[in-house]
Structure 1
């Protein structure tokens, strides 16, 4: 397919378990595009089942759909929105130079918004003295502190104390370092949202969690720890890695792990939708399509919009 005159980027976003990857890869297959992942956890190597990479989805009719920003950093390291924005635009220009269409696909609203709104970000250094002032606070207290900042640069999923402290640290840095001179490529995005009924989403989340546990999600965590990544660093990633690590280290039972993780993923999907609605209120135009509409129908509609 020739390049669109109106758009130079397609974005496919949606909450977890909405089927956005299936839609994005089918679209990429039909228009000869390439995927740029917008998932804050899929950047990590070895963290496959827990992050839901489903790399088999990137092969359609024997054709492998090229993807970017998956498996690019080591498990145990820290990756942030500043790094993502930089890596995104490198991938974006690389795909454009091939004469292909970049398709951003993911559910990390902060990453997507940082790209679409050209947030002027810098690498925020660690402030250990500031962290000391927060170390005895609860997650609920830290969340309230984070909400007190008027213009959040880092409104991420803070489901662990370490992630919340880092988010506050970033906001505190931006209070005294607001002026950043940066030039980013122009984007003309067509943004597609995958809307899924709440009950259907909940059913898919629970079914997928059971399936991934059967496929060896606990063993994945144990293998990562066996290679030298400590439990605290895995818990930092939240969601699956928080509860799987707590179980693997004997802190909770298998049933507690399943029940608590299942609830946490449902809550996370709800927060994702809240973030996307906030993006809309902030001026980002999202064209929503129902998850239950056949993929081919949705792909045809997207091609019409192009």
Structure 2
């Protein structure tokens, strides 16, 4: 018998994806797979609004707390892990429910998406060239071999990666971009938000995180090597509150900066998910939200 469609619950941060995923799991005999890159990290609980054991209501959750803060999250590793987890869940007769707002990670699990390899020696050489020549010079080089990628990327890390892939494979990095073609059958449920309400909700959530001990969590993770983590150290709230721990910023400034950054991130998430015509959008505050989502997923 063919496996049922994978379910994905997507939308901006703070829209209630985790709650809906649990509700769907309880209704459809499912298990949840985390697709929020920052929730991979052990100890990053308060600042990522990680779902608690009590909030999971007995529903198994996968791919939470799988990395130390010093490790770098990898989309290709996640693809392998997520697809293996989906297969395992379906093999046991359950429904696999992906939940998270990291758009590329969701697409890596759901879509036909090929990941080129890496070469540490080549990467080190490009990083050394960047240190010597600067971002502008490497971007100009990228423009000659892959103008599409050059128009899409601007930060040094992505420029170096695009050049690495081009040298390693002989193909432009842009040729590896995902297609809107499911790897296996899937249903995507998007949470349609009132942006004004979401703005206020995100601000309130940041304040709750601070009251719950975000600064202490950041200090604890700093002792575990948070600053050395290329992915974890950039997480919303954590980079801002590291400066508080250093005495370089006030709590008030860190709170305001985190609120602004979180709102900007939510806008980027909405732009990303709105571009996918396959997503079925439901009102995040609809009293019948779970029932309507269940109908979509049946």
- Tell me: CA distance 1:15–1:99, structure 2 relative to 1, closer, same or farther (3 Å): same
Of the structure 1 ranges 83-92 and 130-139, higher mean CA displacement relative to structure 2 is found in 130-139
Selected match of 2:148 from 147, 150, 159: 150
Selected match of 1:265 from 262, 265, 275: 262
- Say if 2:38 and 2:235, in contact at 8 Å, map to a contact too: no
Rounded Cα–Cα distance in structure 2 between residues aligned with 1:286 and 1:279? 6
Q: Which runs of 5+ in 2 are unaligned?
A: 177-181
Superposition deviation, residue 76 in structure 1: 1.6
Is 1:174 paired with 2:174? no
Residue correspondence of structure 1 range 147-296 to structure 2 within 5 A:
150=148, 164-176=155-167, 177=169, 178=171, 186-227=183-224, 229-233=225-229, 236-280=233-277, 285-294=278-287
- Tell me: CA distance 1:255–1:29, structure 2 relative to 1, closer, same or farther (3 Å): same
Q: Which runs of 5+ in 1 are unaligned?
A: 159-163
Superposition misfits of 4+ residues, deviation over 6 angstroms: 136-148
Rounded Cα–Cα distance in structure 2 between residues aligned with 1:136 and 1:216? 41
The residue number in structure 2 matching 1:71 is 65
The residue number in structure 2 matching 1:87 is 81
Rounded Cα–Cα distance in structure 2 between residues aligned with 1:146 and 1:73? 32
Q: Does the residue aligned with 2:99 lie in a helix, a strand or coil? A: strand
Rounded Cα–Cα distance in structure 2 between residues aligned with 1:195 and 1:137? 45
Scaled by the length of structure 2, the TM-score of the pair is 0.84
Scaled by the length of structure 1, the TM-score of the pair is 0.82
- Say if 1:113 and 1:279, in contact at 8 Å, map to a contact too: no
Is 1:59 paired with 2:53? no
- Tell me: CA distance 1:244–1:28, structure 2 relative to 1, closer, same or farther (3 Å): same
Aligned length: 281
Residue correspondence of structure 1 range 37-56 to structure 2 within 5 A:
37-56=34-53
The residue number in structure 2 matching 1:22 is 19
Is 1:298 paired with 2:292? no
Rounded Cα–Cα distance in structure 1 between residues aligned with 2:163 and 2:89? 36
**1:245-284 superposed Cα distances (whole Å, 9 cap, x missing partner):** 111112211111111111000000001111112333xxxx
- Say if 1:7 and 1:190, in contact at 8 Å, map to a contact too: no
Q: Does the residue aligned with 2:282 lie in a helix, a strand or coil? A: strand
Is 1:132 paired with 2:123? no
- Say if 2:116 and 2:165, in contact at 8 Å, map to a contact too: no
Rounded Cα–Cα distance in structure 2 between residues aligned with 1:11 and 1:140? 39
Rounded Cα–Cα distance in structure 2 between residues aligned with 1:144 and 1:238? 29
The residue number in structure 1 matching 2:179 is none
